[in-house]
Structure 1
Amino acid sequence: MGRLFGTDGIRGRANQDLTAELALDLAVAGSRVLTEDTGDRRRKAVVGRDPRLSGEFLECAVVAGLASTGVDVVRVGILPTPGLAHLVQASGADMGVMLTASHNPMPENGIKFFRRGGLKLDDATEDAIEQRMLQPWRRPMGVAIGRVMDSPGMVEDYVHHLISSVRSAAGEKVSLVGLKVVLDLANGAGHRTAPAAFRQLGAEVVVINGKPDGTNINDRCGASHPAELQRAVLEHGADLGIALDGDGDRCIAAAEDGDIVDGDQIMGILALTMQERGLLAHDTLVVTQMSNLGLDHALAEHGIRVVRTAVGDRYVFRAMREGGYSLGGEQVGHIIVPEFATTGDGTLTGLLLMTVMADLGAPLSEMASFVHRLPQELINVPEVDKYRVETDREVVAALEAANRVLGAEGRVLLRPSGTEQIVRVMVECTDADRARAVAQGLAQVVRERLAL
């Protein structure tokens, strides 16, 4: 299976790759690494999950593992990943564990760890957890064993946090009265919290895919499949649509005309707004390698610099902390405003976007139009050995050849997915046909050389 941790936690097919035994062992090791500097005081962890049915048994395994190390566990039930991160921070817990596979299909699940402060782990801490799984440990007994309590009411604290995080240009309480939004909740973790937050701020809300049954999460819906959202916006005459993914950390929008407004465009809108309010630290936006160069060009015209990181919102957040930046994110809709959140938060992003709409009184299509995206071709190559993508000589040679073909008119990104057994081929170029041809050729080499 290689390294257990990927771009965003551990993921795999539930009960095959990600078993109850593995979940328990990870919880034990994670507890030993993340709470070892607490001295003699009682240690606390917050555990949440998305609605997929495998989360039920995996949650039991994780809770058992944590309690067996002497950690008191607060189980908050179903809530978005950013909600879990917020509750870890707000409650002063030593760590948090979220059971989710985010945008991945239902048969898969995953484990995301958070350390004190609601922060995602760095690579060194993840490596330490994997190493600790192989080492013996001394088990507490008697009153030293951890206690377990359910606290589903803490989810309301997260909703209150969302509402209190947004404010108008004048610094006043936000009112979304007069705006109509379609929310596609991906039958996921945001099915209660997102509608509550938008409605409490006055928006008229139409909900689609908001009835999770444990099996329908991300099923042809949500941020990864926005076609139904686009249709619903037109059908209901809404001002916009907002799609979350299964664990609620992504936000993709649809404008009033049905056109998709992706994470790059949303970040562009927020960057301009924050710059005008004097809130965009160092006039800089942090993005990943996947963001379209058109975003760089559009923001440069307004004196805004773009800094790029490796793919993954935790790398974006790390660069933001190191540089003191105030906005960053990913094209797929993970958008981080560290004043309010330590990770991407789809609901918060949607609220911030609608706040700008309310302030400007402008349609979303007009607001997003200043970002002219370069043609970008993305091909996901499944069922290949993603671990050899950087070492196979023919793949490396094909990548170098593709870069020579494009020259200064484009770029190529070839990377293994951190969450799935696929290799992503992304080609960006001023000419769409050339981008498509180069991407297809490189994908074919990957498919042939790295086939399992």
Structure 2
Amino acid sequence: MTLFGTDGVRGLANGPLTADLALTLAQATAVVLGQGRIANARKAAGRRLTAVVARDPRISGHFLAAAVSAGLASSGVDVLDAGVLPTPAAAFLVGDVDADFGVMISASHNPAADNGIKIFARGGVKLPDEVERRIEEAMAGPKLLPTGGAVGRIRRFADAEDRYVVHLLASLRQRLHGIHIVLDCANGAASGVSPETFRDAGAKVTVIGADPDGLNINDGIGSTHLDVLQAEVVRVGADLGIAHDGDADRCLAVDADGRIIDGDQIMAILAVSMKNRGLLRDDTLVATVMSNLGLHRAMAAYGISVETTGVGDRYVLERMNAGRYSLGGEQSGHVIMSEFATTGDGVLTGLHLAAEMARTGKSLAELASVMTVFPQVLINVKGVERSRATDDDVLAAVAEAEAELGDSGRVLLRPSGTEALVRVMVEAATEEDARAVAERLAEVVRG
């Protein structure tokens, strides 16, 4: 069984994800990431390697972070314990202090009972599949286990949050004076740092979902439950709302009238702004196959190319790095601004979205009008094998549907990577057309 998924190791805490597993995974990480030219040079100079460890506020993060730190220190790695911080903060800090790698304990938008372990290599970048495979193999092999003074130390990373906030504020070229924002922190990792940063940037801030107790993370609030934010924005008369998920690597928004502005629309706003200011490298945006057809249409209208990847911000980042592109992301709100971050950063994205409002004097609804969202219907067909998506009768039905939709829609069949399930996604000019085509294709997939 493969341990790593599309975004690290994730599962029920004290179910498959135990303290023993976390410790062993950390020891294997030290073995694999403790190699290489820079790491070997540091060790040859008598220096111990260093790792940044952070977590979100769910209760299992305490014992999992302790286990990870113990595994690293027992392998001769010095640990900088950054405490509760967003995932993108952990990634930033790895590069900022020139650490050898970093570990984030979080299950992102999952319920509180779950947790996860994300590993960042030098520079704060996510690991390629091959390195994850080597770490899995190393879990069954010999550990480093130095003795005496060669074991690692664990110390508090006292200024971790301050470093991250300073970094975020330095990315802005526009203060947020006159902008009233409702922040929904999902009772997660951004509950402290996000309100502080937006206030320091000059915004008026109303905060919800910023009282984590270890159990209420993502519970009816945050980027997966936007109804609370929508109501609060309208109630207080704010200019916009920003929603994070549990580890704050996502940003979704709500305009002044309570309408949802998703990741595709946020990318469209930022891409057009960056192109107009000469900041969008090669006038190219990177998005996934799940991004709305309306995004592609809007970008074409503004002379912006769209490069498409598989689902997952790691694949977006790989394409961005290959082309040295400056903006990419997902409909779910993972937005990567490569000038400032190596991963999706919900606080950074929200700051730059609000800054565009301040810079132009336009409302969020006006800015979002650069893109017309095509109705999208997604049906999960359960109990079928992944290979069903490429069977002849299914491919014939897809071809027929695509011919029927023409330029006014599209079809995407995507097998699940973790279960017997095929996702049928259809976009069309109307929701009725999209649903009719999606339901017809779902019946074909069911056989």
Where on the TM-score scale, by shorter chain, does this alignment land: which range?
over 0.9
Return the offset for 1:23.
1.1
CA contact (8 A) 1:417 1:423 kept: no
TM (norm. structure 1) is 0.92
- Amino acid of the residue matched to residue 290 of structure 2? M
In the alignment, structure 1 residue 401 sits paired with structure 2 residue 397: yes
Alignment partner of 2:116 out of 110, 127, 151: 110
Q: How does 1:234-313 map to 2 (within 5 A)?
A: 234-313=234-313
Alpha-carbon displacement from aligned partner over 1:104-134 (angstroms, at most 9, x marks no partner): 1111111100000000011111111111112
Corresponding position of 1:10 = 9
In structure 1, the partner of 2:82 is 76
Structure 1 partner of 2:152? 146
Aligned counterparts, 1:304-323, within 5 A: 304-323=304-323
Residue identity (%)? 53
**Using the alignment, how far apart are the partners of 2:400 and 2:25 within structure 1?**
44
8 Å CA contact 1:28, 1:66 repeated in 2:
yes
What is the Cα deviation at residue 416 of structure 1?
A: 1.5
Quick one: distance in 2 between partners of 1:423 and 1:139? 45
Other structure's SS at 1:250 match: coil
Q: Deviations over 1:344-386 (max 9, x none)?
A: 000100100111100110110011012111111123567x58x
Residue ranges of structure 1 left out of the alignment (5+ in a row): 168-173
Q: Give secondary structure in 1 for the equivalent of 2:6.
A: coil
Q: Contact between 1:402 and 1:438, CA under 8 Å: does it hold in 2?
A: no
Instruction: Please give the secondary structure, in 1, of the residue aligned with 2:183.
Output: strand
Distance 1:327 1:18 in 2: 34
C-alpha deviation, 1:240, in angstroms = 0.3
SS in 2 for 1:183: strand
Conserved in 2, the CA contact under 8 Å of 1:291 and 1:331? yes
Query: 2:314 & 2:390 partners in 1: Cα distance?
Result: 31
Quick check: 2:198–2:205 contact (8 Å CA) kept in 1?
A: yes
Q: Which moved more, 1:347-356 or 1:400-409?
A: 400-409
Deviates more, 1:228-237 or 1:140-149: 140-149
Rate the CA distance shift 1:393–1:325 in 2: closer, same or farther, 3 A: closer
**Offset at 1:433?**
2.3
Q: 3-state DSSP class of the match of 2:176?
A: coil
Cα distance between partner residues in 2 of 1:93 and 1:422: 40
Q: Structure 1 residues 400 and 236, CA, compared in 2 at 3 Å: closer, same or farther? A: farther
Task: Return the alpha-carbon distance in structure 1 between the equivalents of residues 342 and 392 of structure 2.
Answer: 36
CA 1:395–1:184: 2 relative to 1, 3 Å: farther
> Secondary structure at 2:68's aligned position in 1?
helix
Residue in structure 2 matched with residue 96 of structure 1 by the alignment: 102
| SS of corresponding position for 1:220 | coil
1:152/1:398 Cα in 2 relative to 1: closer, same or farther (>3 Å)? farther
User: CA 1:161–1:441 in structure 2 vs 1: closer, same or farther (change >3 Å)?
Assistant: same
Distance change >3 Å, CA 279–CA 120, structure 1 → 2:
same
Q: Distance in 1 between matches of 2:64 and 2:270?
A: 37
Distance in structure 1 (CA, Å) of the matches to 2:351 and 2:56: 21
Whether the 8 Å CA contact 1:234–1:258 is kept in 2: the answer is yes
> What amino acid does structure 1 have at the position aligned with 2:413?
L
Residue 435 (structure 1) shift: 2.2
In the alignment, is the contact (CA less than 8 A) between 1:188 and 1:218 conserved in 2? yes
Give the distance between the partners of 2:115 and 2:212, measured in 1 at CA. 15
**Which residue type is aligned with residue 4 of structure 1?**
L
Instruction: Tell me by how many angstroms 1:402 deviates.
Output: 3.4
For 1:441 and 1:136, how far apart are their aligned partners in 2? 54
Q: Which residue of 1 aligns with 2:209?
A: 209
Give 3-state SS (helix, strand or coil) of 1:275's partner: helix
- Counterpart of 1:11 in 2: which secondary structure? strand
Alpha-carbon distance in 2 for matches of 1:176, 1:107: 37
Q: Give the superposition deviation at 1:417.
A: 5.5
Distance 1:381 1:146, change over 3 A: farther
1:212-249 superposed Cα distances (whole Å, 9 cap, x missing partner): 00001011111111111111110000000000000000
SS of match in other structure, 2:50: strand
Correspondence for 2:429: 430
- 3-state SS of 1:258 partner: coil
Unpaired segments ≥5 residues, structure 2: none
Displacement of 1:153: 2.6
3-state SS of paired residue (1:136): coil
1:42 corresponding residue in structure 2: 48
Structure 1 pair 417–210 and aligned structure 2 pair: CA distance change class (3 A): farther
Give the conservation status (yes or no) of the 8 Å contact 1:395–1:445.
Answer: no
CA shift, 1:154, in A, is: 1.2
Shift in Å, 1:396: 7.4
Residues 192-201 or 140-149, more deviating: 140-149
Distance 2:60 2:327 in 1: 34
1:53-64 mapped onto 2 (5 Å cutoff): 53-64=59-70
Deviation at 1:421, TM superposition (A): 8.8
Seen in structure 2, the aligned counterparts of structure 1 residues 397 and 108 have a Cα distance that, compared at 3 Å, is farther
Deviations along 1:161-201, one digit per CA (max 9) or x if unpaired, are: 1111111xxxxxx3211110000000000001100010011
**Distance change >3 Å, CA 395–CA 23, structure 1 → 2:** farther
Secondary structure at the counterpart of residue 340 of structure 2 = coil
Residues 1:32 and 2:31 are matched in the alignment? yes
Paired residue secondary structure (2:325): coil
> SS at the partner of 1:290?
coil
- Classify the secondary structure of the residue corresponding to 2:220: coil
Q: Deviations over 1:390-446 (max 9, x none)?
A: x3479774365234323344212323256x997543222334223223434555677
- Residue aligning to 1:123: 129
Whole-angstrom CA distance in 1 between matches of 2:375 and 2:203? 35
- Aligned mates of 1:243, 1:285 — CA distance in 2: 23
Report the Cα distance in structure 2 between the residues aligned to 1:442 and 1:63, rounded to whole angstroms: 49
CA contact (8 A) 1:406 1:429 kept: no
Q: How many residues align?
A: 436
Question: How much has 1:148 moved relative to structure 2?
Answer: 0.8
Are the equivalent residues in 2 in contact too, given 1:50–1:246 (CA < 8 A)?
Answer: yes
